[in-house]
Amino acid sequence: MDDGTEEHSTIWSRLSRLFGHDTQESLEKAIVEARAEGELEPYEESMLLGILRFDELQVQDTMTPRTDIDCVPEEISLKEVAHVIVRSGHSRIPVFKDTRDNIVGILHAKDVLSSLLDHEGKTPSVSSVMREPFFVPETKSIHTLLQEFRASKQHIAIALDEYGGTSGLITIEDVLEEIVGDIEDEHDAPRVEDIRQIKDKVYELTGRAQLDDLQNLGVDISSDEVDTIGGYLSMEAGHVPEQGEQFTLQGWTFTVLEADRKLIQRLRMEPTGNEMSLSVQDRADQA
């Protein structure tokens, strides 16, 4: 009968090998090496790295940004809120007074449903059904937030910037995803990948692609002011670039494929000098 001894000795040797290192950097290196040598599965590597990096992350690194929050004004009716819940697929909807910077409550789908059913004739107001928001500074560590979520039995918080304005929304799912990777629930809309390889060294990016991730592709761009390529190009240009605008940076050409007044939505990135092949590809895409 298998008593698991062999399995244990492998796990113990892995652990002592991994944790026999004293700095985080060497621990990370050991984990990456262990994976390269086949001692760890890819999911084990990414979870271990996630745990090691967990302490360094703040709410602002993982929250849903303010512009993407599905929220409602407090004057709205509960019936309309029910439509917003169905359309957005989110079970908790922040309520704001006057502007998004002033979130005054959170509506939970369960409360909305039971109010609608209990008061079929005259439904109560949004403000009588919403719950108190839990506010956190955007700079709070997600490690501390996880403990607070557990202690308060709340699983959603509104992040505030230093001026008290709304900066984003964060749920326990966002925090746990830093360790276990993307958790897709049955209501999550499919997300467009931020970086998609089209062919060798040609990528299609969303404006939200992170500079850190581009660095892993050999693009030497970094900034203290912004995190995303869309933000970076807007900063360089001094305006939100329009469709068709091109930028050459560090040997790469960025072509804006789609943009609106406020944001670059999609762009293409390729080594400078390859633009001709791109326009052929573009025509092929349009055909």
Closest CB to ligand ADP among residues 90, 266: 90
Q: Residue 107 Cβ, how far from ligand ADP at the closest point, in Å? A: 9
Please choose, out of 68-76, 111-119, 122-130, 201-209, the segment that lies near ligand ADP by the rule CB under 6 A. Answer: 68-76
- Considering only residues 35 through 64, tell me which ones interact with ligand ADP, judged by CB under 6 A: 64
What tokens does 186 get?
Answer: 């049955």
C-beta contacts of 213-221 below 8 A and 24+ residues apart: 214/269, 219/249, 219/250, 219/252, 219/269, 220/250, 221/249, 221/250
DSSP codes of every residue in 1-46: ---SHHHHHHHHHHHHHHHT--SHHHHHHHHHHHHHTTSS-HHHHH
Of 28, 61, 70, 111, which lies in the binding site for ligand ADP, with binding defined by CB under 6 A? 70
Q: How many CA atoms lie within 13 A of 121 on its CB side?
A: 0
Q: Return the percent helix, strand and coil in the chain, to nearest 5.
A: 40, 20, 35
Q: What element of type H or E holds 245? A: none
- Of all residues in the shown chain, the one whose CB is closest to ligand ADP is 171
Residue with tokens 């000795």: 9
212 counts as binding ligand ADP under rule CB under 6 A: no
Closest CB to ligand ADP among residues 115, 171: 171
68 counts as binding ligand ADP under rule CB under 6 A: yes
DSSP codes of every residue in 80-137: HHHHHHHHH--SEEEEESSSTT-EEEEEEHHHHHHHHHHTSSSPPPHHHH-B---EEE
255 counts as binding ligand ADP under rule CB under 6 A: no
Closest CB to ligand ADP among residues 91, 253: 91
User: Using CB under 6 A as the criterion, what x/- string covers residues 160-189 for binding ligand ADP?
Assistant: ---------xxx-xx----------x-x--
**Pick from 95, 7, 283, 59: which is nearest to 169 by CA?**
59
Closest CB to ligand ADP among residues 61, 282: 61
- Considering only residues 77 through 136, tell me which ones interact with ligand ADP, judged by CB under 6 A: 90-94
Q: Residue 181 Cβ, how far from ligand ADP at the closest point, in Å? A: 13
Per rule CB under 6 A, count of chain residues that contact ligand ADP: 16
3-state DSSP call for residue 181? Answer: coil
Q: Residue 269 Cβ, how far from ligand ADP at the closest point, in Å? A: 26
- Write out the residues near ligand ADP by the rule CB under 6 A: 64, 68-70, 90-94, 169-171, 173-174, 185, 187
